[in-house]
Amino acid sequence: MKLNPGDTVSYYFYFKDKNGALIDPDPSTLTFDVQDPSGNETSVTVTKIQTGTYEFNYNLPTDAALGIWKVLVHAEIGSFISSESVPFKVEAL
């Protein structure tokens, strides 16, 4: 995904059990962060749409650094731990 400074980063995240059914992670372990190209992280609040489905929106600053950014997701469901990194590119207007 390529974005410009000031754009909104939007994703849906889905959490499923081994049978493919949507399931909620333990809320105390669920974190969403945005990491800029320098490695600085910002926590982002997400919206739960329904069981196992979360909407992520983050407004990039108008002076956002150019380069590869990442959405970092961490969740635990029982003894299963999941950490994902979703990259996106911020380019000049």
CATH at residue 79? 2.60.40.1930
At a CB cut-off of 8 Å and minimum separation 6, what does 3 contact? 9, 60, 88, 89, 90, 91
pTM of the model: 0.89
Q: What residue ranges in the chain does DSSP mark as E strands?
A: 2-3, 8-14, 31-35, 41-43, 47-50, 53-59, 67-77, 80-90
As beta bridge partners, residue 48 has 54
pLDDT of the residue at 85:
96
pLDDT of the residue at 24:
95
For residues 92 and 44, the answer to whether their CB atoms sit within 8 Å is no
Total structural domains in the chain? 1
| pLDDT (mean) for 28-33 | 94
Which residue range is the domain that position 36 belongs to? 2-90
pLDDT, tens digit, 9 for 90 and up, residues 48-92: 999 999 999 999 999 999 999 999 999 998 888 999 999 999 998
Question: What are the phi and psi torsion angles at 10 (to 5°)?
Answer: -130, 130
Instruction: State the virtual CA torsion across 77, 74, 6, 67 in degrees, nearest 10.
Output: -140
Q: Which residue has the higher pLDDT, 39 or 18?
A: 39
